[in-house]
Amino acid sequence: AEEFMNNSEKLTVAGQLAAGIAHEIRNPLTAIKGFFQIMEHEFTDKKMYFEVINTEMERIETILNELLVLSKPQKTNYKQKNITTILHHVTTLLKTQTNLHNIEITERIDSNLPPIYCDENQLKQVFINFLKNSIEAMDSGGRIHIEVSKMETSMLLVRFKDEGPGIPDHVLKRIGEPFFTTKENGTGLGIMICKQIIENHRGNMHIESGPLGTIVEVELPIF
Ligand code: ADP
Ligand code: MG
């Protein structure tokens, strides 16, 4: 089963709208949090209520932060960068998580890859999102394999392959829809953000999944 992602016009509008709404919600939320912190000291017998409110406020904040990433121009900083270095930063960053979940990351990265023109932080975010999804999919550990190669077109191909249970067709169809998640604590924004960032880089993404796991492919132009 596979799904192609291609809907840039719509997403740009959705992204801008999302960012606008996120800012609008953030201001009142800041006020609520402030008064909440003051009240917390006066109602020590209602500790549990306060914990619930706090957890839910944190959840709103997480969602808002993810939504804000969707706002398009957001001080982008395009430079020539080495993709191998970016990937290694990301895998190092996720080391504690992969160790914790018994996950081994292996890689086959072509030598002499040309640099790509990209916003390093945004690309890192994309790779982190994909790797986190793989980690979250592999409850009992396993291997994530990363491959990077130069394609015949002037694109680089980055491939993430996991050994998770795969994505059923009815889920695969909806992946990338805002807020679509199958996880209890998911936001359902990760893939949508990845898609947006990759499109901004004039690249493509492609997800393929079966019972042996999931493969996410990202194509990025070399310049
Ligand atoms: P979230 O991770 O917050 O749920 P995402 O947009 O990152 O949001 O992913 C949406 C859904 O896609 C997930 O809830 C999950 O069902 C599915 N998914 C994404 N990547 C994988 C993967 N590698 N293996 C299995 N399912 C996946
Ligand atoms: Mg995710």
DSSP assigned state of 105: E
- Per-residue model confidence as pLDDT tens digits over 105-132: 999 999 989 999 999 988 999 999 999 9
> Using CA positions, which residue lies closest to atom 2 of ligand 1?
186
- The residue among 161, 170, 176 whose CA lies nearest residue 213 is 161
Q: Report pTM.
A: 0.80
CB 216 within 8 A of CB 28: no
Which residues, by Cβ under 5 Å, contact ligand 2, an ion?
133, 190
Asked if this assembly's ipTM is beyond 0.85, the reply is yes
Mean pLDDT of the 10-39 span = 80
Pocket residues: Cβ below 6 A from ligand 1: 129, 133-134, 137, 162, 164, 167, 171, 175, 180-183, 186-191, 214
Distance CA 81, CA 64 (A): 29
Q: How confident is the model at residue 1 (pLDDT cuts 50, 70, 90)?
A: low
